[in-house]
Amino acid sequence: SLHTVTTLPTERQPGCPFDPPAELVDARRHGPISRYTHPGGKPGWLITGYDLVRSVLADSRFSSRKELLNVVDFEIPPAPPGEFLLMDEPQHGRYRKPLVGKFTARRMRLLTERIEQITTDCLDAMEKTGPPTDLVTAFAKPIPTIIICELLGVPYQDRDSFQEQIDKFMNGEPSEEELIAAYTATQNYLAELVVAKRANPTDDVLSELTDSDLTDEELKGISLILLAAGFDTTANMLALGTFALLQNPAQLAELRADPALADRAVEELLRYLSVAKTFMRTALVDVEVGGQTIKAGTTVVLSYNTANRDPERFTDPHVLDLHRQDGGHLAFGHGTHLCLGQQLARIEMRVAFSALLNRFPTLRLAVPAEEVGLRPETADIYGVKCLPVTWDA
């Protein structure tokens, strides 16, 4: 009989900070697709199998449109102009297309030196202040935040106006009121910025985009998506990734001994940690998936992190193996919404992990592993709240 999951777990198993919640791994064991009830009581499906997640992501009969989400018993408004993550073609492509050329592997490689410089600055500051320190505030957060700010043309010194607010509506457990306040504050900040860029264009993506037929409203939405997607994901990969390496000392030693392993290590950490863990899609028509009929208008939850631990796709999926050859993880998604910033994120991680391990050969946790605070499963992006580390100065 078909496995049923009634609620998504809010926490992971104690002592297993890197593994998807046991209920999801268990669901995959029963089969790649399970019946599921959304928190608002609406019937849905939960997909945990690699092949099925990938096929839904490649299937235009499934929609990303926000207003179609059938998960609560009130109407959800459509995504505001420019927020293309939650749109379908042709709107999605109209926003994504002008951005693609600005995020190519080649353009991102040109940024490498700047990423190295920012990383060095963070490490210098850490050395100066001395151990112990919180790796999140000293390292994991500033590197991707400074980069996305510079790329987009958002003043880094204004980060209090957006970073904390974005954190609140993506990962906090705020009240409805706080959520709206945080979202509105970010919107207002970006609206002013767009007007300023139009008046005085500078050398950055946002200024370049003012030279198109996109409206101020649309540019504001695009900026919000790029900011929200641009720092929190990579920041959590850096902090949680360091935690995972420190908890796997043999793997860490191999990476230290062979710096050429860094690219492969980044891919394996992406698979193993899958910090962007779940996304949803809604069926536009009746679709058969894994032998089940998903009725038009039903929303499915796609568990990217469980799919990336699928034993039918990856050998020993729950083992962190930096030498792993079976690529093709779904950590950046798949299909039309495939992560726009994947090349940037890869370079940031390769540079940052390598430099950190190089600078501090004796890097270790400053608290017992069980005391490292983890984000709840309700957060959009998984990770640690902070990561106290120390080293021999």
CA angle 257, 366, 361 (to 5 degrees): 20
Task: Tell me which residues touch ligand HEM (CB under 6 A).
Answer: 64, 84-85, 96, 148, 225-226, 229-230, 233-234, 237, 275-276, 279, 331-333, 337, 339-341, 344-345
Nearer to ligand HEM by Cβ, of 38 and 337: the residue is: 337
Q: Which is nearer to ligand HEM, 124 or 217 (CB)?
A: 217
Closer to ligand HEM by Cβ: residue 126 or 269: 269
Torsions phi, psi for 137 (to 5 deg) = -75, -30
Nearer to ligand HEM by C-beta: 90 or 361? 90
- Closest residue (Cβ) to ligand HEM? 341
Q: Give the distance, in angstroms, between the CA of residue 153 and the centroid of all CA atoms in the same chain.
A: 21
Six-digit token string for 241: 């990734």
Q: How far is the CB of 92 from ligand HEM (least distance, A)?
A: 6
Please report how close the Cβ of residue 229 comes to ligand HEM at its closest, in angstroms.
Answer: 3
SS3 category, 48: coil
State the minimum distance, in angstroms, from the CB of residue 293 to ligand HEM. Answer: 23
Residues 90-126 as b/e (b if ≥16 CB within 10 A, e otherwise) read: ebbeebbebbeebbeeeebeebeeebeebbeebbeeb
Cβ 100 to ligand HEM, closest distance in Å? 9
How far is residue 284's CA from residue 337's CA, in Å, rounded to a whole number? 17
Check residue 298 and give left, alpha or beta (phi > 0: left; psi -120 to 50: alpha): beta
Q: Which is nearer to ligand HEM, 332 or 353 (CB)?
A: 332
Q: How far is the CB of 331 from ligand HEM (least distance, A)?
A: 5
Nearest-approach distance from CB 333 to ligand HEM, in angstroms: 3
Q: Of 252 and 307, which CB lies nearer to ligand HEM in the complex structure?
A: 307
Say which residues have a Cβ less than 8 Å from residue 200's Cβ, sequence separation at least 6.
none
